Structure 1
Amino acid sequence: MRWLFATATSIAVLSASTAFAAQSTYVNERFGTVCTFPDDIFTDRKPEPENGDGQMWLSADGASLTCSGIFNVDDDTPKAFIAGEKSSDEPGYTVTYSKAGKDWAVLSGVRDGKIFYERRLFGRDGVIRTVWIDYLPALKSKYDPLVGAIAGSLRAP
């Protein structure tokens, strides 16, 4: 499925995603999470969970992309989210970079031997929208240039 954006709020998404030769835009009906990604790389769409909270795609080389939403039932904030993740004692999970703004947070690091990048938007509507991308370190030169454009496309409708 290919989309052409025509709204003024989508201009940034268009410029961020122009690096993709072929792209799809996913819109989650339950939470209104929107993200755009290269569909010639993330080709294997997994079944949507029964709760309808998001979608996952896999690439042929083992990378994954998840675009999802959750209710912010704990009134989490970007800074509190980052602090919690940095203090995690989950085996095989290390945060190496983090940054937060008023209504967003980004993290990257290593989880289970893969590089990950996560961006979260904390909406005024009580929903946290997330893009998660992970890939093997040997594929860093392929995926690092895509991460910013995919994460930058995350938005609410």
Structure 2
Amino acid sequence: MALLAMAPVGVTHPTHRWRIYRNQRFGTLAEVPDDLFGTARPADNGDGATWTARGGARLRIFGSWNVLEETPASYDAFLRNGRSGRYASVTYKVTRRDLLILSGTHQGMVFYERYAFGDPSGAIHALVLDYPATARSTFDPIVARLSASLRWTPGRAGERIRRLDQAPRRIPSGPVRQRIRPGSRPGCIVKVGIRHLRLCS
């Protein structure tokens, strides 16, 4: 739990300028210290945005469809069974009914990831922060507020799903096999109840 540890007595940290970011597609919302990070770079598919900072730090905030109805525990297993080795040295983990947090180090970088489940639209909302271990004095103090700020409001995609779900038309159902890794592009097929809806042509 080193990332969330209290600062030593006598050590002060600068007050940052926090700005609220909201993704229009999924409604993913979080606060970003914009004096540390540059201008947001929106994803091509509109699922979120990426910020970078001096020294190689990177912040990603995004949403993705939970098409396989993952739970925090199953998503944790999926991520940690990947081939990248990123999660081989997880030092902090929280798994709850609607929350997954993973943190650790990989190749000289500290990572902190928070995934929020429970959105009625079927989306997972995510915050992924990477920064050099040598810059912990700068980024460790912002982790608690950054993480706690992740939440959601209704997005355009969620509103469209609700309209489609209420529409009196027949939509074929069938199996969908797709997993969403952090920062990857979600597909166009979304499961609503027992049906699968195609949101893009």
TM-score, normalised to structure 1's length? 0.81
Q: Match for residue 140 of structure 1?
A: 136
**Once superposed, what is the RMSD of the aligned Cα atoms?**
1.7
The structure that is strand-richer by fraction is: 1
Give the distance between the partners of 1:92 and 1:104, measured in 2 at CA: 20
Question: How many residues get paired?
Answer: 138
Unaligned runs of 5+ in 2: 1-13, 154-201
Q: Match for residue 58 of structure 1?
A: 52
Give the distance between the partners of 2:136 and 2:121, measured in 1 at CA: 35
Moved segments of 4+, more than 6 Å: none
Residues 43, 50 of structure 2: 8 Å contact kept: no
Q: Match for residue 42 of structure 1?
A: 37
Give the distance between the partners of 1:61 and 1:26, measured in 2 at CA: 23
Seen in structure 2, the aligned counterparts of structure 1 residues 88 and 96 have a Cα distance that, compared at 3 Å, is farther
**Structure 2 residue corresponding to 1:107, chosen from 89, 102, 106:** 102
Structure-to-structure mapping, 1:1-157, within 5 angstroms: 20-46=15-41, 48-94=42-88, 95-122=90-117, 123-157=119-153
What amino acid is the match of 2:134? A
Identity of aligned residues (%): 36
Residues 23, 47 of structure 2: 8 Å contact kept: yes
TM-score, normalised to structure 2's length? 0.64
Give the distance between the partners of 1:114 and 1:72, measured in 2 at CA: 28
> Which deviations, in whole Å up to 9, do the C-alpha atoms of 1:77-105 show, x marking residues without a partner?
00111122233332454222211111111
Q: Secondary structure at the match of 1:88?
A: coil
> Which deviations, in whole Å up to 9, do the C-alpha atoms of 1:109-139 show, x marking residues without a partner?
2234311000000123200000010100001
Unaligned runs of 5+ in 1: 1-18
Give the distance between the partners of 1:77 and 1:83, measured in 2 at CA: 10
Give the distance between the partners of 1:112 and 1:91, measured in 2 at CA: 10
Structure 1 window deviating more from structure 2 (66-75 vs 79-88): it is 79-88
Give the distance between the partners of 2:145 and 2:78, measured in 1 at CA: 26
Give the distance between the partners of 1:141 and 1:153, measured in 2 at CA: 21
Residues 115, 136 of structure 1: 8 Å contact kept: yes
